[in-house]
Amino acid sequence: MDYRRMQSRDWRRLFLLILFLFSLFFLCGCGENLQPVVFPPKEPYVAYFSPQDSLYPHLVYLIQEAKESVYAAFYKIELKEVSRALIEAHKRGVKVRVFTDDMTSWDKESQFGELNEFHLIKKDKDPESLMHHKFCLIDEEIVWTGSFNPTSKGSFKENNNVVVIKSRTLATEFMKEFEKLWEGKPSSPANFSHSQISLNGAQAEAYFSLYDNPEEAIVKELEKAKESIHFALFTFTSPEIAHALIHKFAENVEVKGIMEKEQDSSFSQYRSLKKLRMSIKEDGNFYFMHHKFFIIDKNIVITRSFNPTWRANYQNRENLLIIQSSSLAAQYEEEFTRLWKEAINR
């Protein structure tokens, strides 16, 4: 009888120990599940999408792998995992600089205070415009950019995309923009090359608001379309880009688009394009469909922080990437097809 009681207590203790360790695994953050950034063979670029890829574990991985420097410009930064990785990088001797928007730095979830304790972060001083960038540079060689802000919703609930590119030449273009931000010279022009950057067979071009005209760059690419234009846009008010789409639609180019339903205002191009019987849908995500990309002829990807609006083109700090790569376009086409199936036709 005593032996059975002892055996029962032993099993109970073992069960409680396993339950405790299981809970501890998640509560202490051991389940962070960092994901490495893996470039395909012979391709120095790869895309990731949320919520399916979460995104932030890839960013934290890159920060942890940094040997010399991390320069980041994010409209908002709320994830403790990201700020913790930046602080740890600083402590091990990596040069860390973070720039953010002045308005979001006051948000309750903002990590500005934590990063500011180590003098790692600055914010813009222009209340009339947004510092809307979402890029990070690792060792001045790897560029991370797209529609993703390091927030919980951005990782787990919103639809976002990020492209990671290994190219010192491209990183140099982004460094010019970061240096202007850090030096507090938002209106000072920079010597951007605008030349095509070779990515082992693919091509890339970078554009920045205030210095360039990203809107014009998009229109020029759209006008080259021969077969198809697919897009997913958080907000879309630009008449110039709408006219380019209408022109290509009239030439029998397939035009299909998904737009965030919450952005259907009187300024939105949604209804004007629908009236022309274009295949335009509202997204089906309860949370934001925060993408900002075009796919042209299944060969060109345009992605960025840039929303096609007047403010983004002429007031905000934004970036735009045009990448010619059929394999990268295939990744974005897969995401577009998934969203299209969930989208609502109204």
pLDDT on residue 253: 99
Q: Is the pLDDT of residue 19 over 80?
A: no
3-state DSSP assignment of residue 156: helix
What are the structure tokens assigned to 128, written together? 């009339």
| Identity of residue 272 | S
Segment 305-326, tens digit of pLDDT:
999 999 999 999 999 999 999 9
- Given the residues 248, 292, 298, 341, the one annotated as active site: 292
Q: Tell whether domain 194-342 is in CATH 1.10.1660.10.
A: no
Architecture field, domain 37-181: 2-Layer Sandwich (3.30)
Contact 205, 197 (CB under 8 A): yes
Between 38 and 8, name the one with better pLDDT.
Answer: 38
Place of tokens 């091990």: 92
122 is catalytic: no
Q: Characterise 325 by phi-psi region: left (phi > 0), alpha (psi -120 to 50), beta (else).
A: beta
- Given the residues 76, 134, 281, 290, the one annotated as active site: 290
Q: What's the pTM value of the predicted model, to 2 decimals?
A: 0.88
Output the average pLDDT for the chain: 90
292 is catalytic: yes
Contact 306, 320 (CB under 8 A): yes
pLDDT on residue 203: 97
pLDDT on residue 41: 94
The reply to whether 37-181 and 194-342 are identical in fold is yes
As a whole number of angstroms, the distance between CA 302 and CA 321 comes to 6
Cα 147 from chain centroid (whole Å): 3
Q: Is the pLDDT of residue 193 over 90?
A: no
- Given the residues 101, 124, 212, 297, the one annotated as active site: 297
As a whole number of angstroms, the distance between CA 221 and CA 199 comes to 19
3-state DSSP assignment of residue 158: coil
pLDDT on residue 14: 54
Q: What is the mean pLDDT of residues 247-275?
A: 94
pLDDT on residue 5: 47
Segment 194-204, tens digit of pLDDT:
679 999 999 99
As a whole number of angstroms, the distance between CA 155 and CA 221 comes to 30
Place of tokens 């695994």: 25
Where do the structural domains in the chain lie, given as residue ranges?
Answer: 37-181, 194-342
Q: What is the mean pLDDT of residues 115-135?
A: 95
Residue 272's alpha-carbon distances to 203, 238, 280, 290, 313, in angstroms, are 33, 12, 10, 21, 21
As a whole number of angstroms, the distance between CA 208 and CA 146 comes to 13
290 is catalytic: yes
Q: Is the pLDDT of residue 30 over 50?
A: no
- Encode burial over 146-174: b for 16+ CB neighbours within 10 A, e otherwise: bbbbbbebbbebbbbbbbbbbbeebbbbb
Q: Is the pLDDT of residue 67 over 80?
A: yes
